[in-house]
């Protein structure tokens, strides 16, 4: 029958649809659900088979800390509900991989920190709750750069570091490293990360993914381990801009438990974020090239060439490219003086631990410090008594405001829809060559363009190709004004449609049953 459909397609008979798990978006999966060619139970089974084959075996990417033992039962129940009542949302039956900083009432939340291996919250984090209410399944809690301890960069004291499926010798990105590598190896449909100083966009870039770090205050952080009330944001990773937008439709919103979300009241779009996805989104868009974040020097030469190539793609797609766009600041250097996380960390730790059940292994900062295994920044910030009276912290807050104002001013002055810049133009470091403490990671960040993290402005990473020298991915970054996610989604999806740089890693090939026609 499939052959007949193919032969007579020209005579008006519909061609068979093709399904490929490695490239399937939320829309593709829903189409297969609607046709009866796929169920959520089957989808979970396919992802579990991949985890079995590639997480601790094969390339051993080492991403999964805990699996949801009830995932298949949840999938069966959601399939029955779909049949009886229809789907709750576009995420009904989809599979989520969550960085192990998001509280889950049915699985431990460890932060990758060995002394908290059995720490069991009694309720879900805000974003987990929203996703489950929408019908999504939390399949796994995944590895990360240890949230509290000192471990190999991109890994944890609990299970070690993650391995890049694109190059096993290379750093896979922190701190949401497990989300990045597991999504690259297609262990799930949607990935949850978190971002303090680039912790969503770094692994998105290095794992050839689309990454969303949204406006500060658009998504609640309730029930999320954090280190900086000023900078921390939940992050989204997927294989398409549409997937990020569909997830944002579920998790964005006001939460009385995180008053930063008051800033979003009245500023969310009336239409779904998915409605702003547009393959022609670059046509007529005004995009400014933030040249101050394009680094000179031989180490950056290959990355600069990739960036220039992609700018040509953007121009050809019909965008009006304003080049250069300059703030007048030495942004690569000045961004280093805008980080506040090392000052706020102990205050954030206290806040998170206070919300855990009384029988959790660690419920106070003092208990954590007593383990002798915590990061240097946690120890140093614990010595600060009053943040509101700390002159260095307050100076950094003013510095954040100044950088944000400069970026918004340059966008307004040139009437831009977005700024474009490379996330990084150097090749990825090798495992073991990346500093392990948070202070040194912050100092190393001059190789990255993390303005979003220090200003609270939204950014979307889209795959921009690969470095020929090591096979690692390159990412294009689109940065916008506060709450300009609809415009960024339009611009980023327009670039995605014409660039088409998503490519599955060779080290985790397709398994039987992942490709079919229907």
Chain-centre distance for alpha carbon 492: 15
Say which of 39, 99, 228, 450 is annotated catalytic. Answer: 99
Which residue(s) pair with 18 in the sheet? 517
Cα–Cα distances in Å, from 459 out to 92, 222, 363? Answer: 26, 22, 34
Which of 220, 230, 213, 212 has its CA nearest to residue 261? 220
Say which of 39, 119, 199, 213 is annotated catalytic. Answer: 199
- Euclidean distance between CA atoms 464 and 467, whole angstroms: 10
Rg (CA), the chain: 22
271 classed as catalytic: no
| Ranges of H-type helices in 229-329 | 241-251, 301-316
Which own/partner pairs from 49-58 qualify as long-range (CB within 8 Å, at least 24 positions apart)?
A: 49/511, 49/513, 50/185, 50/186, 50/187, 50/508, 50/511, 51/140, 51/182, 51/187, 53/508, 53/511, 54/165, 54/185, 54/187, 54/507, 54/508, 55/182, 55/185, 55/187, 58/507, 58/508
Q: Is residue 130 within 8 Å of residue 91, measured between CB atoms?
A: no
Say which of 39, 156, 175, 450 is annotated catalytic. Answer: 175
Which of 155, 409, 189, 427 has its CA nearest to residue 300? 427
169 classed as catalytic: no
469 classed as catalytic: no
Which residues carry out catalysis?
99, 175, 199
């Amino acid at each position: 029958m499939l052959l007949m459909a193919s032969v007579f397609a020209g005579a008006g008979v519909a061609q068979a649809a093709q399904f490929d798990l490695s490239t399937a978006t939320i829309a593709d999966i829903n189409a297969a659900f609607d046709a009866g060619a796929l169920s959520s139970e089957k989808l979970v089974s396919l992802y579990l088979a991949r985890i079995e084959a590639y997480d601790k075996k094969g390339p051993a990417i080492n991403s999964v800390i805990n699996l949801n033992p009830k995932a298949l039962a949840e999938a069966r129940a959601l399939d029955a509900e779909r049949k009886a009542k229809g789907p709750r949302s576009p995420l009904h039956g989809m599979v989520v991989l969550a960085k192990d900083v998001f509280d889950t009432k049915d699985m431990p939340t460890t932060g990758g920190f060995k002394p908290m291996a059995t720490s069991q919250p009694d309720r879900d984090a805000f974003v987990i709750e929203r996703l489950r209410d929408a019908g999504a399944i939390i399949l796994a809690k995944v590895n990360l750069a240890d949230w509290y301890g000192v471990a190999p960069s991109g890994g944890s004291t609990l299970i070690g570091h993650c391995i890049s499926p694109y190059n096993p010798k290379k750093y896979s990105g922190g701190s949401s490293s497990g989300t990045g590598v597991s999504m690259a190896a297609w262990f799930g449909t949607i990935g949850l990360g978190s971002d303090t100083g680039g912790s969503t966009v770094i692994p998105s870039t290095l794992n050839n993914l689309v990454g969303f770090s949204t406006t500060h205050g658009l998504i609640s952080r309730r029930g999320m381990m954090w280190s900086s009330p000023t900078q921390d944001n939940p992050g989204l990773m997927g294989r398409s801009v549409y997937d990020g937008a569909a997830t944002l439709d579920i998790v964005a919103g006001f939460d009385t438990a995180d008053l930063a979300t008051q800033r979003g009241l009245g500023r969310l779009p009336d239409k779904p974020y998915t409605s702003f996805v547009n393959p022609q989104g670059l046509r007529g868009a005004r995009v400014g090239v933030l040249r101050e974040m394009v680094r000179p020097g031989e180490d950056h030469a290959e990355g600069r060439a990739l960036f220039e190539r992609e700018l040509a793609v953007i121009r050809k797609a019909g965008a009006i490219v304003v080049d250069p766009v300059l703030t007048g600041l030495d942004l690569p250097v000045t961004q280093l003086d805008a980080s506040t996380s090392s000052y706020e960390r102990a205050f954030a730790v206290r806040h998170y631990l206070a919300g855990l059940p009384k029988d959790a292994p660690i419920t106070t900062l003092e208990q954590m410090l007593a383990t002798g295994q915590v990061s240097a920044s946690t120890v140093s910030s614990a010595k600060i008594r009053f943040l509101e009276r700390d002159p260095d912290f307050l100076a950094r807050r003013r510095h954040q405001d100044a950088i944000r104002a400069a970026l918004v001013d340059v966008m307004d002055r040139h009437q831009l829809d977005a700024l474009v810049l490379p996330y990084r133009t150097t090749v990825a470091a090798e495992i073991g060559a990346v500093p392990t403490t948070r202070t040194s990671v912050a100092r190393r960040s001059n190789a990255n363009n993390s303005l979003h993290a220090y200003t609270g402005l939204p950014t979307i990473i889209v795959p921009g190709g690969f470095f020929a020298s090591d096979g690692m991915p390159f990412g294009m970054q689109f940065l916008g004004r506060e709450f300009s996610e609809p415009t960024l989604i339009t611009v980023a999806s327009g670039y995605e449609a014409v660039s088409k740089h998503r490519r599955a890693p060779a080290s985790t090939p397709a398994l039987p049953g992942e490709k079919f026609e229907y």
